[in-house]
């Protein structure tokens, strides 16, 4: 059974959080934002074990290229309520370099929204989250510096689309840090994220990419 059974209900929650993160012109207060992002089972219907950690990744609707303008929300199921543990800036999109020089002849990988399974592992020798199941990606092969989400290009499988930190301590732009992976802007952020998994002795991670 998926951790997320009702995508339609989740979309209501998603729009509330997007407004808190990226607008509207009259932004929510800090307290209101915390309330929306923490959520509750009524508006965020999940199927998770008690104290299970999971993540909701929000892609910036403006889709700016080469920027860490998305959000990684680490959540935990506490007595049936989805509680926000922490959040960090990430990118869910490839950097400009790999858009212009795709590693795969089919084109650069861009994650398709959905629910995916990950687990603790290594990415280039550093602790990270690696695929524990297949993922779907769009293939963008026209090198026009625009993220293309063509449903006809969807490619499903094990593509080494990991969740990891930047190659330096902190990255200004995405550039070569992502050829399709979801990448934290700062190494200290993913280190802190993984600390929670060590603390709760959890090795698996379900992500909901929206």
Which pLDDT tens digit goes with each residue over 164-210?
A: 998 877 777 888 888 899 999 999 999 999 999 999 999 999 998 88
Q: Which two tokens stand for residue 48?
A: 């998770």
State mean pLDDT over 55-76.
86
State mean pLDDT over 41-65.
74
Q: Is residue 97 part of a domain?
A: yes
Pairing between β-strand 182-184 and β-strand 163-164 as defined by DSSP bridges? parallel
The Cα–Cα gap between 140 and 115 comes to 21
Least confident among 25-29, 119-123, 170-174: 25-29
Q: Is residue 29 part of a domain?
A: yes
Q: Which two tokens stand for residue 122?
A: 């290594």
| Angle, helix 7-22 to helix 30-38, in steps of 10 degrees | 160
Q: In terms of C-beta density within 10 A (0-12 exposed, 13-18 middle, 19 or more buried), how is residue 194 classed? A: middle
Please state, as a whole number, how many other Cβ atoms lie within 10 Å of the Cβ of residue 110.
Answer: 25
Q: Is residue 1 part of a domain?
A: no
The Cα–Cα gap between 182 and 55 comes to 12
Range of 180's domain? 7-209
SS3 call for 136? strand
Instruction: Please give the residue that has the higher pLDDT: either 147 or 62.
Output: 147
Q: Mean pLDDT over all residues of the chain?
A: 81
Q: Which two tokens stand for residue 38?
A: 């923490």
Number of domains within the chain: 1
Q: Is residue 2 part of a domain?
A: no
Instruction: Please give the residue that has the higher pLDDT: either 155 or 48.
Output: 155
Q: In terms of C-beta density within 10 A (0-12 exposed, 13-18 middle, 19 or more buried), how is residue 50 classed? A: exposed
């Amino acid at each position: 059974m998926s951790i997320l059974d009702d995508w339609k209900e989740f979309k209501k929650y998603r729009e509330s959080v997007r407004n808190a993160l990226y607008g509207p012109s009259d932004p929510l207060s800090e307290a209101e934002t915390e309330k929306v992002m923490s959520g509750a089972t009524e508006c965020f219907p999940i199927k998770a074990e008690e104290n299970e950690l999971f993540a909701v990744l929000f892609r910036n609707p403006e889709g700016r290229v080469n920027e860490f303008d998305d959000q990684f929300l680490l959540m935990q199921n506490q007595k049936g309520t989805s509680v926000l543990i922490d959040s960090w800036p990430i990118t869910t999109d490839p950097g400009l370099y790999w858009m212009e020089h795709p590693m795969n002849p089919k084109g650069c990988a861009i994650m398709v929204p959905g629910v995916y399974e990950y687990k603790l592992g290594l990415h280039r020798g550093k602790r990270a989250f690696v695929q524990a199941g297949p993922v779907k990606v769009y293939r963008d092969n026209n090198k026009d510096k625009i993220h293309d989400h063509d449903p006809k290009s969807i490619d499903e499988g094990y593509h080494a689309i990991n969740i990891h930190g930047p190659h330096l301590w902190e990255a200004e732009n995405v550039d070569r840090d992502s050829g399709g992976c979801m990448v934290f802007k700062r190494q200290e952020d993913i280190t802190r994220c993984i600390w929670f998994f060590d603390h709760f002795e959890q090795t698996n991670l379900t992500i909901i990419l929206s």
